[in-house]
Amino acid sequence: MHYLLLYDYVDNAVERRAPYREAHLALAREALARGELLLGGALADPVDGAVLLFRCDSPAVVEAFVAKDPYVAAGIVTHWRIRPWTVVIGV
């Protein structure tokens, strides 16, 4: 099953996330290495959120990622949601 993790960011997120960026990316790399995270990145123009694509058996995997994410803990993420995604074409 695929899940989209959608983040909304605070204003000035690029500047405010800087102290937490390496820890956030390390968490993402770990999820990528386990095969759970397929793609992730910030929305652009403006940078007001992010989208991460997971492939896993349960949304609990995505919830665990959110619980450990330094961006969430530091308040860079103002709101998040997980959406199941039915892939029709592609991998």
Q: Looking at per-residue confidence, does 39 or 90 come out higher?
A: 39
Domain that holds residue 73: 2-85
C-beta separation of 73 from 53 below 8 A: no
- Indicate the pTM of the whole model: 0.95
DSSP β-bridge partners for residue 51? 6, 41
CA distance 26 to 12: 22
Instruction: Assess if residue 40 is contained within a domain.
Output: yes
CATH of the domain at 54: 3.30.70.1060
Instruction: Assess if residue 90 is contained within a domain.
Output: no
Instruction: Assess if residue 15 is contained within a domain.
Output: yes
Tell me: pLDDT of 91 over 80: no
Q: Is 71 exposed, middle or buried (0-12, 13-18, 19+ CB in 10 A)?
A: buried
pLDDT (0 to 100) of residue 45: 95
Instruction: Assess if residue 61 is contained within a domain.
Output: yes
Q: pLDDT category, 34, cuts 50, 70, 90? A: very high
Instruction: Assess if residue 6 is contained within a domain.
Output: yes
The domain tally of the chain equals 1
Q: pLDDT category, 28, cuts 50, 70, 90? A: very high
